[in-house]
């Protein structure tokens, strides 16, 4: 059983008593529906143990059955099981008691008072507890009371793991006469964690432990009990609806807990299947996070020298920034022409004629955008006119033919006129 160093001791009449002339009871460290738990010392073996003393006399009233069940439960060993050492009755007080391994640490219910577990801690705990249930189920033992108060957190020697989970109180129903308890209206189990079949009075089975473990895992991740409230209300609630498993836990966690808490026992996984699946959750990243990071990094490195272009104009609305399907991408655009370079005329470096020295645009920035586009077109037209003018002389045909008169060029102000005059001077004989 368990004891926490900072847990205050509770006065009890049996504190200081010596049971079976062997176990010296010290402080009361826990209370349950049927028994109290004491920190004790085994004077024969010289070790500290936990002793669970039943409140009513005669709970373990069949000595032969008690011995056989104790031998079975003591043979079930697993690191996540609290070991049972002995089961006996004190002749002086007539009280039945169990002697178990002492775990110096809080239980899970106390630990969750400070907040829910992280994903890795919860997954590691789920693996340990599911393995422990698999061991006892394989030997025909059903726990019947899986809940946070029965999960003890033993200190761990590993620096990255502060504690390890241990399941306590397994097999109590086999030591106590279950038929007699049912006849007197007593039920082993906690209303907030009973399976639907237990609530219906169909009895507990291995799948019932898996259901309770699913509720425990959900509480460990969220910090909230799935079916709170008074006993009858909490027990009957699961007959009409399933526990709420928030999507924020991620699809893998959600799928596992939903399967474990299925209302039909046949739809639940076995304890071993739970352990295998829970082991894959340790160290798992949230879904989609790594893929988004890889896509962003790939886009950033594939276009190292490009600048993002202007936003395209479209009738379709752009996706929202927080939309999960909107991937981060860089738009490739052609390299734009610098405005400063466009202002430099093709005839830069030549001396302008004095007549046109002050013939620029009014703002002094040179020709307009339309003039820049017209310059090549006018130059091509002038070259074609000059070619036709000199064509007869070059071919030597019809020496007597008259040369056509040249039409004077129109006067065009500004820098375009300068280009026309320069071209005219170049082609005039």
Active site residues: 145
Closest among 287, 270, 148, 118 to 208, alpha carbons compared: 270
DSSP 10: B
Q: How far is CA 364 from CA 173, 343, 357, 367, in A?
A: 101, 11, 12, 9
52 is in an annotated binding site: yes
Alpha-carbon gap, residue 103 to 150, rounded angstroms: 12
Alpha-carbon gap, residue 8 to 209, rounded angstroms: 31
Alpha-carbon gap, residue 421 to 419, rounded angstroms: 6
Alpha-carbon gap, residue 121 to 281, rounded angstroms: 10
CA dihedral for 191, 194, 199, 203, sign (positive or negative): negative
For residue 167, the cross-strand partners are: 81, 151
Q: How many CB atoms lie within 10 A of CB 149?
A: 17
First to last CA, the chain: 118
Alpha-carbon gap, residue 28 to 52, rounded angstroms: 10
How many helical (H) and strand (E) elements, i.e. helices and strands, does the chain have?
A: 14, 10
Q: Which residues 6+ apart lie within 8 Å of 84 measured at CB?
A: 70, 73, 74, 98, 99, 100, 101, 171
Q: Which residues 6+ apart lie within 8 Å of 274 measured at CB?
A: 126, 130, 210, 213, 256, 260
Q: How many CB atoms lie within 10 A of CB 4?
A: 17
For residue 166, the cross-strand partners are: 152
Alpha-carbon gap, residue 365 to 343, rounded angstroms: 7
Closest among 70, 61, 65 to 89, alpha carbons compared: 61
Closest among 153, 60, 151 to 99, alpha carbons compared: 60
Query: Do residues 173 and 188 make contact, with C-beta atoms less than 8 angstroms apart?
Result: yes
Annotation: binding site = 52
Residue numbers belonging to the annotated binding site for ATP: 52
């Amino acid at each position: 059983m368990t004891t926490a160093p900072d847990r205050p001791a509770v006065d009890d009449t049996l504190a200081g008593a010596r049971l079976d002339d062997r176990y010296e009871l010290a402080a009361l460290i826990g209370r349950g529906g049927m028994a109290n738990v004491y920190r004790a010392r085994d004077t024969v073996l010289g070790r500290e143990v936990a002793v669970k003393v039943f409140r009513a006399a005669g709970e373990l009233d069949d000595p032969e059955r008690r011995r056989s069940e104790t031998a079975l439960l003591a043979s079930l060993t697993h690191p996540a099981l609290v070991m049972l050492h002995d089961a006996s009755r004190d002749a002086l007080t007539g009280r039945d008691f169990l002697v178990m391994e002492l775990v110096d640490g809080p239980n899970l219910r106390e630990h969750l008072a400070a907040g829910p577990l992280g994903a890795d801690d919860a997954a590691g705990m789920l693996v340990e507890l599911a393995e422990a249930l698999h061991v006892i189920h394989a030997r025909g033992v059903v726990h019947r009371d899986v809940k946070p108060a029965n999960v003890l957190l033993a200190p761990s020697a590993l620096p990255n793991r502060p504690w390890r989970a241990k399941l306590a109180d397994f097999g109590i129903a086999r030591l106590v006469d279950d038929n007699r308890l049912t006849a007197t209206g007593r039920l082993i189990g906690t209303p907030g964690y009973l399976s639907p079949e237990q609530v219906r009075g169909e009895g507990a089975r291995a799948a019932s432990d898996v259901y309770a473990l699913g509720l425990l895992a959900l509480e460990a991740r969220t910090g909230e009990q799935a079916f709170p409230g008074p006993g009858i209300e909490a027990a009957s609630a699961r007959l009409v609806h399933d526990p709420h498993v928030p999507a924020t836990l991620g699809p893998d966690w959600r799928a596992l807990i939903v399967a474990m808490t299925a209302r039909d026992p046949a739809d639940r996984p076995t304890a071993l299947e739970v352990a295998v699946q829970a082991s894959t959750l340790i160290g798992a990243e949230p879904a989609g996070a790594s893929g988004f990071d890889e896509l962003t990094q790939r886009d950033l490195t594939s276009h190292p020298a490009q600048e993002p272009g202007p936003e395209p104009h479209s009738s379709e609305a752009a996706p929202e920034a927080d939309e999960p399907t909107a991937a981060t991408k860089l738009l490739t655009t052609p390299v734009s022409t610098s405005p400063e370079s466009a202002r430099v005329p093709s005839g830069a470096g030549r001396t302008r004629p004095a007549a046109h020295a002050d013939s620029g645009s009014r703002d002094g920035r040179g020709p307009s955008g339309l003039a820049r586009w017209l310059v090549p077109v006018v130059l091509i037209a002038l070259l074609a006119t000059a070619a036709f003018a000199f064509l007869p002389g070059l071919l030597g045909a019809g020496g007597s033919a008259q040369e056509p008169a040249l039409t004077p060029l129109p006067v065009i102000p500004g820098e375009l006129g300068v280009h026309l005059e320069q071209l005219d001077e170049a082609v005039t004989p």
